[in-house]
Amino acid sequence: MPCWPPRSPRVETFLARHPAEQVTRFGGSTLELTPETLPERTHIYVFEQSR
């Protein structure tokens, strides 16, 4: 099933360089991070595009 809008190849290339457990795809429009909720290690949050 095709994704709409299409994902950027540059983003996908960047994400492919990182372990899957370091990447969270997020469907919302906001994300709140506080010092208490920050992950101990590097983590990548990807906001999915909305229509």
Mean pLDDT, to the nearest integer, of 19-37? 90
pLDDT at 51 over 90: no
* pTM of the complete model: 0.68
pLDDT at 7: 61
How confident is residue 6, by pLDDT bands cut at 50, 70 and 90? low
Containing 9, the helix (H) or strand (E) segment is helix 9-16
> Which is it for strands 44-47 and 23-26: parallel, antiparallel or unpaired?
parallel
Residue 23 structure tokens: 């990447």
Residue 6 structure tokens: 């299409």
Q: What mean pLDDT is reported for the chain?
A: 83
Nearest CA-CA partner of 49 in 21, 11, 14, 1 = 11
